[in-house]
């Protein structure tokens, strides 16, 4: 197996979440060559959310040590390689999936924004919260009045006390439309079990903190599957064991990562039907357009097939400068 990489920079058009500043984000695309095929994937760490920094991950790869996130990237590259080998496109597999709209920065909430989303066919809006809870609670009333299902994401930055007060003060009209709350505060079984009595809870970046082997009852209702960093088969196995729902999302990463996430979502939706909720894979819109995102088309809440084989982007990938990762 030979690994090459091509660095990139994504430039946010707005604040992405309460844990990070709207600064350019660095990552690398990986080209992995096997004897029988070549595949591509993304490696886009979020150190703010606990990932090892990009330089560290590449340094470990050079030493032949593979981080869990890099292992996922190689796994995705292998899926891509096999599709390319057979001249198939990832969007031709599985069942078409709907995505939520994503609101990471309330400055983007211009007059007519919600009406436009409804016209496009969106029914669910995911909102990143945790910066100004008073203002956020007020805006949620407008979102609820427009009839959207609501997903909230605290990125585990809150506390049980803050979460309880925030949810307790929301009008019933808002609470009735909350589908789930992601990572309300750092994982702790007892506190999450209490939070679960107020609203459905989704597990995302606290996934690795769950003592899965000792778990008797899950203190959450939904598992967020991010193929960029989550062992997909194991996550599905856990959902089946504890009768949980799952939502597949991209990792606010490169369009190649977005396409991989959609492909996984389509495959899981076809196989597990109602267990798989609406996805969250339209994150390429959070960044300035580049040659990759220019290849992506959407139809309301649906991401359309990207031209090419595997995850697509054949010509653009072929024209990138690649640097071989030399093992030490």
Q: How far is 54 from 45, CA to CA, in rounded Å?
A: 6
Q: For this structure, is 119 an active site residue?
A: no
Q: How many CB atoms lie within 10 A of CB 95?
A: 13
Q: For residue 294, give both structure tokens.
A: 């220019």
Which long-range contacts link 105-110 to residues 24+ away (Cβ below 8 Å)? 105/14, 105/15, 105/16, 105/22, 106/135, 106/136, 106/139, 107/14, 107/15, 108/14, 109/139
Strands of the sheet with 222-225, listed across from one edge:
101-103, 124-128, 149-153, 178-182, 201-203, 222-225, 245-248
- Choosing from 31, 126, 149, 226, the catalytic residue is 226
Length of the chain: 328
**80 in Cβ contact with 33 (< 8 Å):** no
- Choosing from 126, 128, 245, 269, the catalytic residue is 128
Q: How many CB atoms lie within 10 A of CB 216?
A: 6
* Segment (H or E) for 248: strand 245-248
Q: For residue 74, give both structure tokens.
A: 């190689």
Question: Radius of gyration over alpha carbons of the chain, in Å?
Answer: 20
Q: How far is 298 from 89, CA to CA, in rounded Å?
A: 17
Whole-Å CA distances, 135 to 14, 106, 205, 232, 309: 18, 9, 25, 36, 45
Q: For this structure, is 226 an active site residue?
A: yes
Catalytic site residues? 128, 226
């Amino acid at each position: 197996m030979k690994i090459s990489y091509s660095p990139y920079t994504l430039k946010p058009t707005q604040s992405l979440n309460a844990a990070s500043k709207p600064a350019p984000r660095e990552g690398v695309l990986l080209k992995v060559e096997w004897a029988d095929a070549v595949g591509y994937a993304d490696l886009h760490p979020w150190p703010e959310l606990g990932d090892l920094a990009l330089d560290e991950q590449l340094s470990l790869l050079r030493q032949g040590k593979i981080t869990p996130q890099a292992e996922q990237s190689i796994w995705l590259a292998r899926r891509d390689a096999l599709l390319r080998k057979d001249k198939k496109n990832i969007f031709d597999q599985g069942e078409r999936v709907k995505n939520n709209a994503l609101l990471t920065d309330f400055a983007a909430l211009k007059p007519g924004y919600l009406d436009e989303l409804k016209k496009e066919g969106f029914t669910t809006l995911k909102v990143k919260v945790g910066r100004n809870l008073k203002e956020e609670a007020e805006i949620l009333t407008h979102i609820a009045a427009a009839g959207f299902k609501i997903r909230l994401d605290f990125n585990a930055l809150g506390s049980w006390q803050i979460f309880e007060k925030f949810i307790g003060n929301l009008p019933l009209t808002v609470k009735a439309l909350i589908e789930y709350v992601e990572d309300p505060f750092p994982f702790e079984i007892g506190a999450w079990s209490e939070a679960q009595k107020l609203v459905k809870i989704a597990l995302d970046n606290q996934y690795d903190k769950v003592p899965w082997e000792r778990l008797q009852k899950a203190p959450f209702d939904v598992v967020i599957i991010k193929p960029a960093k989550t062992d997909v088969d194991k996550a599905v196995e856990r959902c089946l064991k504890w009768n949980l729902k799952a939502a597949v999302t991209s990792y606010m990463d490169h369009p190649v990562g977005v396409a991989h996430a959609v492909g996984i979502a389509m495959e899981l939706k076809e196989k597990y039907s109602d267990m798989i909720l609406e996805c969250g894979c339209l994150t390429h819109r959070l960044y300035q357009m580049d040659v990759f995102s220019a290849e992506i088309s959407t139809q309301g809440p649906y991401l359309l097939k990207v031209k090419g084989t595997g995850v697509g982007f054949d010509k653009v990938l072929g024209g990138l400068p690649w640097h071989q990762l030399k093992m030490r």
